[in-house]
Amino acid sequence: MMQAFLGDPMAMILLTGALVATSGALLGTFLVLQRQSMLSDAISHSIVFGIVVVWLLTHAQSGPLQIAGAALTGVLTVFLTEMVARTRRVKRDAAIGLVFPALFAAGVLLLNLYARDIHIDSHTVLLGEIGFVWLDTMPLAGFEVPQAVVWMSVATLVNLGFVLACYKELKLASFDWQLAAALGLAPTLMFYLLLGLTSVTAVAAFDAVGAVLFIAFVIVPPATAYLLTDRLSLMLLLAVLVGVASTLCGYPLAVRLDVSIGGTMASMTGVFLLLAFLLSPRYGVLGHWRNRRVKYSG
Amino acid sequence: MLELLGNHTVQTVTLGAVLLGMVSGLLGSFAVLRQQSLLGDTLAHAALPGVCIGFLIAGTRHLGWIMAGALVTAVIAALFVQVVTRYSRIKMDAGLGAALSVSFAVGVVLLTYIQGHASASQGGLDSFLFGQAAATRPSDLWFMGGVTLAAMALVALMWKQLKLVTFDPLFAGSIGLRVGVLETLLTAMIALAVVVGLQMVGVVLMTAMVIAPPVAARQWVSRLEHMVFLAMFMGVVSGVVGVLLSAGVPNLATGPVVVLVASALVTLSLLLAPGRGVLWSWLKLWREQRSIGQRQMLVTLHKLAEHHEDPYYPVERSMLDSFYGVATGHILRRLQARGFVVPASHMRQEGPHWALTDAGHNEARQELERMDWNQAGV
- Give B120's DSSP letter: S
HSE-up of residue B78 (Cα within 13 Å, Cβ side): 28
Number of separate domains in chain A: 1
pLDDT above 90 for A296: no
> β-strands B341-344, B315-316: how paired?
unpaired
B127, closest residue in chain A (CA to CA): A123
CA distance B112 to chain A (A): 5
Nearest to B190 by CA among B46, B328, B64, B306: B46
**Residue B287 counted as domain residue:** yes
pLDDT number for residue A228: 94
Instruction: Based on the fold, state whether residues B180 and B296 are members of the same structural domain.
Output: no
**Residue B57 counted as domain residue:** yes
Collapsed DSSP state (helix, strand, coil) of residue B363:
helix
pLDDT tens digits, one per residue of A136-175: 777 777 777 888 888 889 999 999 999 999 999 999 999 9
Measured N-to-C along each axis, helices B358-376 and B278-307 cross at an angle, to the nearest 10 degrees, of 110
Nearest to A128 by CA among A250, A17, A10, A32: A17
For chain A, state the CA radius of gyration.
Answer: 20
**Residue A252 counted as domain residue:** no
**Residue B196 counted as domain residue:** yes
pLDDT number for residue B252: 80
The confidence band for B199, taking pLDDT boundaries of 50, 70 and 90, is: confident
CATH of the domain at B347: 1.10.10.10
- Flag if B37 and A123 touch (Cβ within 8 Å): no
Quote the distance between the C-alpha of residue A187 and its chain's center: 20
Domain end among B170, B188, B206:
B206
**Residue A273 counted as domain residue:** no
Instruction: Based on the fold, state whether residues B38 and B159 are members of the same structural domain.
Output: yes
Mean pLDDT of A81-97: 90
**Residue B245 counted as domain residue:** no
Instruction: Tell me the one-letter amino acid at A229.
Output: T
Mean pLDDT of B116-141: 66
**Residue A294 counted as domain residue:** no
pLDDT above 80 for A3: no
Domain end among B172, B187, B206:
B206
By residue range, what is the domain housing residue A69?
A: 2-210
Mean pLDDT of A60-89: 86
By residue range, what is the domain housing residue B52?
A: 2-206
HSE-up of residue A203 (Cα within 13 Å, Cβ side): 28
Collapsed DSSP state (helix, strand, coil) of residue B354:
strand
Range scoring the smallest mean pLDDT among B9-13, B124-128, B315-319? B124-128
Mutate to test the interface with B, among A267, A272, A289 (most CBs of B within 10 A): A267
**Residue A230 counted as domain residue:** no
**Residue A41 counted as domain residue:** yes
Range scoring the smallest mean pLDDT among A104-113, A134-143, A223-232, B26-35? A134-143
Collapsed DSSP state (helix, strand, coil) of residue A145:
strand
Nearest neighbour of A227 by CB, restricted to B88, B92, B215:
B88
User: How buried is residue B268: exposed, middle or buried, by Cβ count under 10 Å (0-12/13-18/19+)?
Assistant: middle
Query: Given CB atoms, is B245 within the 8 Å cutoff of chain A?
Result: no
Mean pLDDT of B75-103: 92
pLDDT number for residue A294: 67
Instruction: Based on the fold, state whether residues B177 and B76 are members of the same structural domain.
Output: yes
Helix, strand, coil abundance in chain B, percent, nearest 5: 80, 5, 20
Mutate to test the interface with A, among B204, B234, B249, B271 (most CBs of A within 10 A): B204
Domain end among B168, B189, B206:
B206
| Alpha carbons A220 and A239: distance in angstroms, whole number | 8
**Residue B51 counted as domain residue:** yes
Q: A106 contacts in B (CB within 8 Å)?
A: 256, 260
ipTM: 0.90
CA distance B364 to chain A (A): 35
**Residue B260 counted as domain residue:** no
Number of separate domains in chain B: 2
CATH of the domain at A195: 1.10.3470.10
**Residue A45 counted as domain residue:** yes
Instruction: Based on the fold, state whether residues B302 and B160 are members of the same structural domain.
Output: no
**Residue B256 counted as domain residue:** no
pLDDT number for residue A244: 96
The confidence band for A298, taking pLDDT boundaries of 50, 70 and 90, is: very low
**Residue A249 counted as domain residue:** no
CATH of the domain at B75: 1.10.3470.10
pTM confidence score:
0.84
- Sign (positive or negative) of CA dihedral B235, A48, B99, B82: negative
**Residue A150 counted as domain residue:** yes
pLDDT tens digits, one per residue of A187-238: 999 999 999 999 989 888 876 777 778 899 999 999 999 999 999 999 999 9
Collapsed DSSP state (helix, strand, coil) of residue B339:
coil
**Residue B227 counted as domain residue:** no
